[in-house]
Amino acid sequence: MINVTKTFLPPQEEYNAILKRAWDTGWITNRGALVLELEEKLKTYLKVPNILAITNGTLPLQIAIKALELKGEIITTPFSYVATTSSIVWEGCTPVFVDIHPEYLTIDETKIEAAITPRTSAILATHVFGNPCAVKEIEAMAQKYNLKVIYDAAHCFGVTYKGKSIFEYGDVSTCSFHATKLFHTGEGGAIFTKSQTLIDKLFYHHNFGHFGPEVFQGVGINAKMSELQAAMGLAVLPYMQKILEARKGVVELYKNNLKSLGVLKLREETHWNYSYYPVLFNNETQLFTIQKLLNKGGVIPRRYFYPSLNLLPYTDKKSCPTSENIASRVLCLPLYHDLSKAEVLKICTIINEGL
């Protein structure tokens, strides 16, 4: 079986050696040495000024909405994972969907202004498949209307845009370290912001509001990463270069062997991370045909992203034709570190013959 992704597991003895440090101190959570070390190493690796390790990639979105004190409407993208929308709703705000650009697949910045109302407090957009949003235009819009900007950068580990980490854009940026993501801690994630004031606020929010053992700095939740998760991150991080090279090889094989299918158009000046390989079929019927053939051959691609989030049962279902159209005919093909050349070629053959 060839799944859409496969978790990179470091040699178990290396993970155990790092875990042993937690056993030696008897300290397995509450920002122990391993979480602190992971944060420092990620700061260096990603070249970011601040990072806060979180126990998954969804709570960072919710905590960001809390910390920025967002109310009312949040302009967002319908083409993302459900967590982008559900976090807005969970925090008591209303998602207002703006359709996406048909090639970049990120929120269409030219349509944002028309969606702004007196109730709009922020823009929450996703850098889809590691492809940056039009950050400059979004920032200009945010300044003009006094809005906050959050980027769901769950797919963006290691991506740089215009020479700096993608995590540096927006008031707050988030990442997921879930086992299916490029870099992982089993479950995990992170929050990034350039603002020292904001990182302090996010810090209190992620740990019950604790300011010392007996004083509380506002309301908080428990979103701390544990030492067991951090140990996985520390064991995986040294392999990132190898993982990226292997994935690059797979992407190039797909590119050279699947010429007829539209692929993601990366924004210029993006240093990409080979996180996903989406292909676009002519229509949903063709997608179903190919999906069936792939499944028969033991290959399990995924419909990232489907459904278009404006069609979720708890949203207003305002139409977003481009997003709905793309969602109906996009498939992400298997892409991971040890997918072999023979396997990639087999997938290409099934698709090419099916078309």
Residues that bind ligand PLP (CB under 6 A): 56-58, 80-81, 83-84, 126, 152, 154-155, 176, 178, 189
For residue 64, CA distances in Å to 47, 54, 91, 243 come to 21, 12, 10, 30
Q: Strand pairing partners for 124?
A: 76, 150
Of 150 and 154, which has the nearer Cβ to ligand PLP? Answer: 154
The residue (of 154 and 351) whose beta carbon lies closer to ligand PLP is 154
Smallest gap from residue 196 Cβ to ligand PLP (A)? 25
Nearer to ligand PLP, 126 or 322 (CB): 126
DSSP sequence for 196-224 = HHHHHHHHHHHBTTBSSSS-B-S---B-B
Contact 81, 106 (CB under 8 A): no
- Smallest distance, ligand PLP to C-beta of residue 350, A: 26
**Cβ 173 to ligand PLP shortest distance, Å:** 12
- Looking at beta carbons only, is 129 or 254 nearer to ligand PLP? 129
143 Cβ contact list (under 8 Å, min separation 6): none
Least distance in Å: CB of 188 to ligand PLP?
7
Contact 194, 168 (CB under 8 A): yes
Residue number, 116 or 205, with CB nearest to ligand PLP:
205
Which H or E run contains 94? strand 94-97
Amino acid (1-letter code) at residue 285: T
Min separation Cβ 175 and ligand PLP, Å: 8
Which two structure tokens, joined as six digits, stand for 26? 């008897």
Contact criterion met (CB below 8 Å) for 336 and 8: yes
